[in-house]
Structure 1
Amino acid sequence: MRHELRGIFVLGLAAAAAGCSSLQSTSDTAKAAAVEPAPDAGFIAHPERQTKRADLPFQKVWIKPGFDKSGYRELVVAPVNTQYMMEMDWLHNLSSAAWVSDVKSDIAELGHYFHDQVVKAFKEDPKHRFKVIERAGQHKEPALRLELALIEIDPSMPVLHALSWAGPIGTGSAAGAVNQRRAAFEGRLRDLRTGEVVATFADRDMADVGPLDLTRLTWYGPAKGIMDRWAEQFVQIANRKPSEVVTDPTAFTVRPF
């Protein structure tokens, strides 16, 4: 967004001076303790069917009983749905209409970025598990359609100040969201021929980034890094053997302050 956001490093310094604690781990157990699942947004029709699976990195998963992914060779990645992000509390507390417009533009761009990173990850998969096709009519073999929705990205407190945030500090769900460096999505996997949903999944994740990372001083902070990780995990899950466990690939650091 606007270049003046880089000037908010002073606020970051003040936050750092106040001190922060950190927690590092390579395990999904630590993630479970540090990052609660996002509330169901509505993109998934039957979220109550989802559970946490120890062999997958996402917080909520449902797979149709008897579903066998081995018979599918092609994949369509649908445009990422961003309509649920328009309902984020903090967005409606911005006092400047111009900033709201800029944030909405950023949200659309983030949807395109997430889509393109998923496509890129599958195309660059050395195992070539799926051939990515652009449109449903192009498929020549059994195909799946991956449908994703971004439902949440938490902004940092310094950036909210720079965006003329009108919300009271310390109260409400919007205040509780800031400085968490989190993003969340919901997803569906659909048989392209029958239209049947064969799997659903959802995750909220947190990135490892310090308060003075001047390369990411935008309201969406490290969200693109989280999306990159999700894209990699989609490929890992596509390639996994029945007994293989897929977890978050790297340690992360939680620095609440």
Structure 2
Amino acid sequence: MNLKPDNMTHDDEMPYEKCMKYGPEVLSDAELLAVLLRTGTRESSVMEVSRQVLELNPQYDGLVGIMHFGTKEYSRIRGIGKVKSVQLSAVGEIARRIWNRRKRIKNMRFTESRQVADYYMEDLRYLCHEVVRVLYLDHHMQLIDEKLLSVGTGSRSAVSSREIFIEALKLSASCFIMVHNHPTGDPEPSEDDIRFTMELDRAGQIIGIGLIDHVVIGDNVYFSFREQGIIGGK
């Protein structure tokens, strides 16, 4: 471990040099971003630009926002052009993939609604648009694959039952779980949510690929159609 000596101070050192000397673990969130951004503007230092990134949305704690911001958000900051916004977006995607790495672990089983909600909560609860994901499972309730089937531009997203079952047939799935988020933070299903879920449930019974659950993610809360007895389970 590359720790700085007790008698040394590096408060005035540039983040890049600081990282080279003592390692990234001594850097603050803003300094880590400054290492990536490298330069600021005539009006703002790279550290000031980094702090503006961290303050883009107060609901996120420190670097958590990097997993949720895109090029549109970064473009609001003077000193971050197309290249830097793409770089930061790529870092956010890397962080998301590391966070969700367990999704690709073989033999992961989903037998309870709470497991599904816990699995997706941090990934979906802060989004300002609606997304639809489907977990495809084998007859042991083990994860075969997970698909992102829709990304909405606002509070609505569109996905058809046809594409859900096409993917299920491709993967030879025995059953599936649907997951989507409500950007409002309230997971209570809409009339459209209920109608579409019932259609999926009926179609699944006919085709022989059952809908195990539909979980709606809100802000640290969720709604399960299975737990509420609206649809049956396997």
So what's the TM-score if we normalise by structure 1? 0.22
So what's the TM-score if we normalise by structure 2? 0.23
Structure in which a larger fraction of residues adopt helix: 2
Larger radius of gyration: 2
Larger RCO: 1 or 2 (CA < 8 Å, sep 6+)? 1
